[in-house]
Chain A
Amino acid sequence: MTSIYRDKNFLSGAAIFILSIFLYKGSEAIPATEKLLLMRASFFPLVISIGLFICGVTLLTLPFIRKKVDLLSLPGGKDMLVLLIFIAFIYLYIYTMEFLGFILGTLLYLLLSMLLLCVKNKIQGLLLALGVTVVIYFIFVTFLKVPFPAGLLGF
C-alpha cells in the first residue's frame, strides 16, 4: 500500500486539502465590515474553502474506496532535466531581458531552447528564430507600441 503515496488522486487530494485549510484561515482573517455573514467579503471565499475541503477529502479517500491506484508518472531522469532547464530558460529570458533587450533576449532564448529540444536542422532553426523575433518585434513594438526593454542594442 506504499504506492498509495504516488497515487494521483491521493497526492492532489492532499494538496487541495491543505489549500482549503489555508483558505479557510485566510477567509476568517478578512475584516468583517457587515453584520450579516452572507454580506461579508469573507462569505464567498469561505464557501470556496468548504467546497475545496470536501473535494480534497473525497480525492484523498478515493484510492482506498476504489482499492485501485492511479500512479503518477513523471518524466524520467533526462526528460525531467530537459523540462526543468526549459523552465529555467524562461526565467532567464525574463530576468535578462532588461539587460539584453527584447531582440537579443528573444533570439538567444529561442536558439537555446531549440538546442535544448534537440533541433536537428540548426540553420532552419536559426532562420526561424530570427524571423519570429523580427515578426514579434514588428507586431508588438512597431504596431502595438508595447515598450519592451531596448537593452544592449538600444532599440
Chain B
Amino acid sequence: MLEHLVAAAGSVFSPLGLLLMFLGSLIGTIVGALPGLTATMAVAILLPITFGVPVDLAIMLMLGIYCGAMNGGTVSAVLVNVPGTPAAIMTGLDGYAMAQRGEGGKAIGIAAIGSFYGGIFSNIILIIFAPILAAVALKFAAPEYFALAFFGLVSIATSTTKSPVKGAVSVFLGLLISVIGLDPVTGVDRFSFDNPEMMSGLNFVPVMIGLYGLGEVLMQVHQSEYGRKITQQIKGLLPTWQELKGLHGIFLRSSVIGTIIGALPGEGATIAAFMAYTDARQNSKHPEKFGTGVIEGVASCETANNAVTGGSLIPTLTLGIPGSGTMAVMMGAFMMHNVIPGPMLFKEQPELVYSIFMSLAVNNVFMLIIGLAGARVFARMISIPMNMLLPIITALCIVGSFAVTNTYFSVLTMIVFGILGYLMRVFEFPTAPMVIGVVLGPLAEVSLRRSLLMSHGSLAIFFTRPGSLAIFLLTAIYFSWPFLKRLLARKPDEVVA
C-alpha cells in the first residue's frame, strides 16, 4: 500500500500535476461563475483538452474543473442572484441579500470556506468507505451488476424530474444510443446503417458535449437571454474568527448531508444544498432571519453542495454506477482514458485510486485559494455578456468534439445531440438520465443477458442470490420511502380511520 501511496503522491505533487490541478480549479471556477453554465457542462466541453496528457494527470485536471465549477456558481448567485450552477440556487437566497447590504465579499468568502470544509470532509469519507465498498463489490457477479445498474437507471429516471415518465423516456433514449454498433455478446451489427464510424458504437464524448454544451447554448438563444449584462463590485472577503466558530456545527451537519446525498444515485448538489439549508434553518435560534442575508444560510448550502463531490465519487469509483449527470460525464472522461471505474480499479490500479483521493484534497485547497483570491476577478468576468459567450462556447463544443476522433462525424454527432438536448429542454425532458443510460447501457445489457444465460432464462436468479436480492430490496425501500415516511408520520387513529 505504501508504495502505491508514494507513487500517487509523486504524480499528484509533481509540478505538472499541481499546475494542471490549479488550472482545472481556475477554469472550473470561471465556467461555474458564468450564469447558465453548469458544472456538468464545464466538465463535458473541457474534456477534450485532457486528451494530450497522461491518464492520472487528466483525471486530476477533470476533478479540478469539477470542484472549481461547483464553487464558482456561488459568485453570480451572491452578486446578482443568478446562480452560476443549479447547485447554487439556495445560496442566492441569503447571499444576494448580504450582497445588497454590501456584504457580498463576506458571503463569497464564507461560501469558499464552507465549500473547502465540505469537500475535505467528503474526501475523508470517500477514502474510508470506498475501499471497503470496492472489496464487497469484488464478490459481485452479473446479477448483482444488473441489480446495481437497474437501481442507478430507475433512481435517476424518477428523481431528476417531476415526471417519472419523461425521466424513463430519457433513460430509454440513452439505452438506445448505447446499443448502436456491434452487439458485445454476439457481434451482430445493430442500427449502424452500414456506417463504419457507428459500428463501434457512438462515441459518448460528442454525445455529452452536444447534450450539455450545445443544447444549453441553443436553449439560451431560444430564451433570448443573450443580451444580459451583469455588474457588481465586491469588498471584504474574510469572515471574523467568531463568525467562523459559530458556523462549525453547520459546516459539519451540512457536510454529512452533502456526502450522503452525493452517494445516493439520482440525487445531486441542488437537493443537498436545499436539504442542508432546511436543516440549518430548523436548527437555528433565529429561523425567521433565513432569506434575509444570514451567513448560516450561505454556509449550509455551499458546504453541502461541495460535499457532494466526494460522496458522488463513492458509487462511481467503487461500483461503476454514476449517481448524477455530472458523474456520468466524469465516468465518460475516465473511460475515454481507458480507466473503467468499478471494484477492479482498486485491485488493478491502486496508484490511480490513491492519486484520485489525493488530488481531490489538493483541488479543494486550490479551490479555496482561487475562491478567495480571485473573487474580485470573477465578479468582473460575470459581466461579460452572454451574446459574446454563447458563440465561444459553441466554438469550443465544435472544436472539442472534432478533437475526439479528428473527424467531422464526431462534430455531426455533437450537433445532432445538441439539437436533441435543446428539444428535450423545450419539452421539459431531463438530460441527466439519458447520459446515465448511455454510460450504464452496456453494463445493464451484458449483465442482464449473462444473468439470464446463467439461469437458463429464469428471472428468479435476481431474487435467489443474496447480493442481487439485497440490492433490489434496497431499491424498493428507496422508492417506497417517501410513502412509508408519510404513513409512519400519521397518527394511529388517522390510520384506523
Contact = CB atoms under 8 A, between A and B. Distances in A.
Interface of A: 8, 11-12, 16, 23, 26, 30-31, 33-34, 36, 38-45, 48, 51-52, 55-56, 58-59, 62, 72, 74-75, 79, 82-83, 86-87, 90-91, 93-94, 106, 109-110, 113-114, 117-120, 124-125, 128-129, 132, 136, 139-140, 143-148
B402 A148 contact: yes
Nearest to A16: B169
Given A11-B427, A82-B221, A136-B395, A38 B452 contact: yes
Contact of A144 (B52, B165, B179): B52
Interface residues of B, number: 59
A45 B349 CA distance: 34
B179 A117 contact: no
Given A36-B457, A58-B165, 17 more contacts: A38-B449, A39-B449, A44-B179, A48-B176, A51-B168, A52-B173, A79-B222, A83-B222, A90-B398, A93-B395, A110-B392, A117-B387, A119-B387, A129-B391, A136-B396, A145-B52, A148-B399
Interface stretch (B134-142, B181-189, B294-302): B181-189
Nearest to A102: B399
Interface string B187-229: 0111100000000000000000000001000100111101100
A73 to B, nearest CB: 8
B169 to A, nearest CB: 5
A140 B388 contact: no
B186 A40 contact: yes
6 contacts: A12-B166, A125-B388, A128-B388, A129-B391, A132-B395, A139-B49
A145 B189 CA distance: 33
Contact of A52 (B169, B395, B426): B169
Contacts of A79: 222, 224
Query: Among A23, A51, A113, which residue has the most Cβ atoms of chain B within 10 A?
Result: A113
Contacts of B227: 117-118
Nearest to A131: B392
Interface stretch (B35-43, B246-254, B265-273, B403-411): B403-411
A48 to B, nearest CB: 5
Given A12-B427, A94-B411, A114-B387, A41 B190 contact: yes
A109 to B, nearest CB: 6
A41 B186 contact: yes
B222 A75 contact: yes
Contacts of B179: 44-45, 48
Given A72-B427, A113-B390, A132-B395, A38 B188 contact: no
B419 to A, nearest CB: 7
Q: Is chain B's binding surface mostly helix, strand, loop or mixed?
A: helix
B2 to A, nearest CB: 35
Nearest to A26: B191
B16 to A, nearest CB: 13
Contacts of B448: 44
Nearest to B385: A119
A3 B59 CA distance: 50
A125 to B, nearest CB: 6
The 9 closest A-B pairs by CB, nearest first: A113-B391, A117-B387, A41-B183, A41-B188, A144-B52, A44-B445, A38-B452, A146-B403, A12-B427
Contact of A83 (B183, B221, B386): B221
B330 interface: no
Contacts of B290: none
B89 interface: no
Nearest to B451: A38
B52 A143 contact: yes
B172 A51 contact: yes
Contacts of B51: 144
B461 to A, nearest CB: 12
Contacts of A48: 172, 175-176, 179
A132 to B, nearest CB: 5
Contacts of B390: 113, 117
Contacts of B402: 146, 148
Query: Among B49, B186, B457, which residue has the most Cβ atoms of chain A within 10 A?
Result: B186
B449 to A, nearest CB: 6
Interface in B440-497: 445, 448-449, 452-453, 457
Given A8-B427, A113-B391, A119-B385, A146 B406 contact: yes
Contacts of A59: 165-166, 169
A75 B411 CA distance: 26
Contacts of B48: 140, 144
B392 A45 contact: no
B428 interface: yes
A103 B452 CA distance: 54
B394 interface: yes
Contacts of A148: 399, 402
Contacts of B394: 90, 113
B21 interface: no
Contacts of A75: 222-224
Contact of B399 (A82, A129, A136): A136
Contacts of A31: 188
B415 interface: yes
Contacts of B168: 51, 55
A103 to B, nearest CB: 12
A68 to B, nearest CB: 13
A140 B226 CA distance: 27
A48 B172 CA distance: 6
B387 A118 contact: yes
Query: Among B223, B396, B403, which residue has the most Cβ atoms of chain A within 10 A?
Result: B403
B357 interface: no
A91 B415 CA distance: 9
Contacts of A106: 395, 399
Nearest to B170: A55
